[in-house]
Amino acid sequence: MAPLKNEIIVNPANLNCRLTRRAAYKASSSGTVGNALRVHPAHRRLHACLTDTHALEAKLITFRRTIRAMTNRAPPDDPQLARVLARFECGQLSGQMTLMYWLKMGRSVWQIESELARLQESSREGERQHFAELGKLLKRHREGCLRIAAMVGSGVDSDLPARTDAEGIAFCRRLFDWSCQQSGEASVALYSLGSPALLSAATDEIVLWLGEQAVLRPGSDALEIGCGIGRFEEALAPVLGTVTGVDISTEMVQRAQARCRNLPNVSIQLSEGKNLSGFEDASFDLVLAIDSFPYLFQSGWSLLARHFEEARRVLRPGGSLVVLELSYGRSLEADRADFAKLALASSLEIVVNGDQPFHAWDGNAFVAQRGRT
């Protein structure tokens, strides 16, 4: 890759480093260049910490791809898009998640197609394939992307925190009733791009991970808070004894009931969203909250904390609470700290605190367990 206009490439101590020439440029303009070049701190730390040749080479490849993606592959006036594309190029973000974030920035499908075309033109031959594949994905799911762009542009959704629990619950009910009418798949996962196939693949990946956490015991009973259109009830029915889903959206509940109508061990119920008062103490082995707790978080800390307490109450000894995404738009460190605080307040033992185990979706995973006594 050609260096940027204010950078040069050198090879000190056999380490391909990118040195900044900004100081040198300023010094040269005054006629005194001197010893203006300096090694970027990230490279100095990399060189100091890595001694194994193969590990060093792998780290360098990843680092160079990240820097190249962040500097050359996105409009310089849009740092948010630059970060998304950098994550995509480095394999940290799936194509469907990349398109979802692009659409959530307010871009139209036509604008994304134009930007992709420019990116392909400015890419190296070996790297052009990344954006070509993204373009193919957009073309295959263009109708779904058009629908998502319209949903994002409607202004129905909002990131503003609710003033009261009741206001937050009412907002979520309106949002999900409306979203489900636009697209059932997109209403539960925008990154599905409205595609049943993409949503099914993402669901299967999560179910596989749940199995790896040893929380899917044959014959056990599970409750999902915010079941949406019933995709996990359908997927878990063959594995578990019973699966119960609750949701505050009438539209979602109707979709879920239709989806699971031939599954006798599945129950879908409309919830008021305030608590889990409809269920007895120690009645479930597993409580799931998959991409639903961010809306409780937005509705208010007290509502979120109450659901942690209620999850602990309805869990049997040794049962698990699995939360996939605690909030939106915050750092992982903040979510980890709050999950630990909520789990401790509810007498739950932390098992997983903020892993990022999925490919199709970039959701964060949290698991807490009720003690066996």
Alpha-carbon gap, residue 34 to 15, rounded angstroms: 23
Say what the pTM is: 0.80
What type of residue sits at position 31? G
**Tell me, what's the pLDDT at 39?**
41
Measured over the CA atoms of residue 135, residue 141, residue 143 and residue 148, the dihedral's sign is: negative
**Tell me, what's the pLDDT at 201?**
97
What type of residue sits at position 348? L
**Tell me, what's the pLDDT at 123?**
79
Q: pLDDT 10s digit of each residue in the chain, 373 long? A: 444 433 333 333 333 333 333 333 333 334 433 333 344 444 444 444 444 445 555 555 555 555 454 444 444 368 999 999 999 988 999 999 999 999 999 999 999 999 999 988 887 876 788 899 999 999 999 999 999 999 999 999 999 999 999 999 999 999 999 999 999 999 999 999 999 999 999 999 999 999 999 999 999 999 999 999 999 999 999 999 999 999 999 999 999 999 999 999 999 999 999 999 999 999 999 999 999 999 999 999 999 999 999 999 999 999 999 999 999 999 999 999 999 999 999 999 999 999 999 999 999 999 999 998 7
**Tell me, what's the pLDDT at 373?**
75
